[in-house]
Amino acid sequence: MKVLEVKGLKKKLGKREIIKDISFSIEEGEIFGFLGPNGAGKTTTIRMLVGLINANEGSISICGHDLKTDTEKALKEVGAVVENPELYKYLSGRENLMQIARIRNISKDQVNETIKLVGLEHRIDDKVRKYSLGMKQRLGLAASLLSNPKLLILDEPTNGLDPSGILDFREVVKKAANERGMAVFISSHILSEVQHLCNRVAFINHGIIESVENVLDESMDTNTDIICLKLLQEIDINKLLSIEYINSARKTDDGIEIILLSNKTPELIKYLVNNNYAIQEVFKIRKGLEQRYMELVEGGIR
């Protein structure tokens, strides 16, 4: 199910066109990265996604609800953490969450479940002024998760965190996506963070999405290759999975993504041709984001 669908979005501030016709979608349970340099249009896009500003053209749909015409129902499905969350420092973490829970009619059981999800159960009754930045980020994340949203929006969520805090935050986000089937939209300019956290990434620059691509962790087994296969006719995925040198195969918007043993691509092509499959295209998928970022955003390798 498409949780977020953005079509033909454009935004001008004064005479300057900030966002120039962008489109993308995010599926349930997917962690989607929005990657680009400062000034690329990331924050303007987020402000439109959460209803703070209106687009000049295009549409935003959240769980099938149009943000412009059905604003209340659309935003009911959204939780957001924008940089450093606003918290009452003189209250405890639990008291902060209970303030929100009372307004939104959320049960204590749901509050406790969310506290456990973000890993704050041992410090939740301490005053927020005693929290580290990482703990404040976790509490902000808990606040955004209280209503069990279908879409979680994170704007530069690891700014100011130390390496340990970044690792902890990353695991909490993955857990939220996996356990609650949430779609997560993460805006960032940090390549390594997107590499380790996201399933797909959109590269944005000068208000234009240059490409939307799958993300593959560089730590994957170096004895395997990852390819994208496009055929002119349908093929049963189970037929591919029965081939001994293929580890996995799945359909994507771009074709069939296959993980197979290194240097076995020619053998796969031979098998397909011998079985009368017409190959439209086959190419190896890059494992790292750095090269693609330099190609798409910076105009080439330095």
Q: Which residues pair with 279 in a beta bridge?
A: 231
Q: What predicted TM-score, i.e. pTM, was given to this entire model?
A: 0.74
The CATH number of whichever domain residue 263 belongs to comes to 3.30.70
Assess contact for 255 and 228: CB atoms under 8 A.
yes
Determine how many CB atoms are found less than 10 A away from the CB of residue 252. 10
Look up the CATH number of the domain holding residue 145: 3.40.50.300
For residue range 171-184, what is the model confidence (pLDDT) as tens digits? Answer: 888 888 888 889 99
Q: At what angle do helices 108-117 and 163-180 cross, to 10 degrees?
A: 130
Residue (of 208, 165, 156, 166) closest to 187 by Cα position: 156
Tokens 């404040």 found at:
136
pLDDT band at 193 (very low <50, low <70, confident <90, very high): confident
Domain total of the chain: 2
The 10s digit of each residue's pLDDT in 81-112 is 876 677 899 999 999 999 999 988 999 999 99
Establish if 302 belongs to a structural domain. no
Residues 237, 207 share a domain: no
Are the beta carbons of 161 and 137 closer than 8 angstroms? yes
Query: For the chain, first and last CA: distance in Å?
Result: 40
- Residue 287 has what pLDDT? 54
Q: Give residue 242's identity as a one-letter amino acid code.
A: S
Q: Are 126 and 253 members of one domain? A: no
- Residue 249 within a domain: yes
Q: What is the pLDDT of residue 84?
A: 66
Give the C-alpha separation, 102 to 90, whole Å.
Answer: 18
Residue 254 sits in which domain range? Answer: 224-286
Q: How far is CA 263 from CA 90, 174, 245, 268, in A?
A: 61, 32, 10, 10
pLDDT of residue 301: 41
| 238 located within any domain | yes
